[in-house]
Amino acid sequence: MQALCKASDHSPDVTCPICGKGFHIYWERTSRTQQDAALPAIQLALREHHDHPETATHPSLPFTVPSWSGLPQFSAAALLGGATL
């Protein structure tokens, strides 16, 4: 399942376990069970952002988990999750 993560300072859905930065999550599917199952992959992606000190820690633009090569606003998660980018 795809999720779109967008940085947020207000009422985040998830926070980075390393730095505490918050993100809103827009989901491709509405099943809470599927969303809960996808959270470990999102947490892992947020941790992995810290593995590359030569770049900014977290992307400044929204990103998808799992990642894909298209524009974030056209991801299934953005379209089905109602994201405004």
Condensed to tens digits (0 to 9), the pLDDT of residues 27-80 reads: 998 999 999 999 999 999 999 999 877 777 898 899 999 988 888 888 988 888
Q: How far is residue 25's CA from residue 34's CA, in Å, rounded to a whole number?
A: 13
Q: How far is residue 37's CA from residue 51's CA, in Å, rounded to a whole number?
A: 24
Amino acid at 61: L
In this prediction, residue 18 carries a pLDDT of 93
* pTM > 0.75: yes
Its domain, for residue 16, covers 3-81
Total number of domains in the chain:
1
75: tokens are 């991801």
Task: Give the torsion through C-alpha atoms of 8, 10, 81, 17, to 10 deg.
Answer: 60
Per-residue pLDDT band at 26 (split at 50, 70, 90):
very high
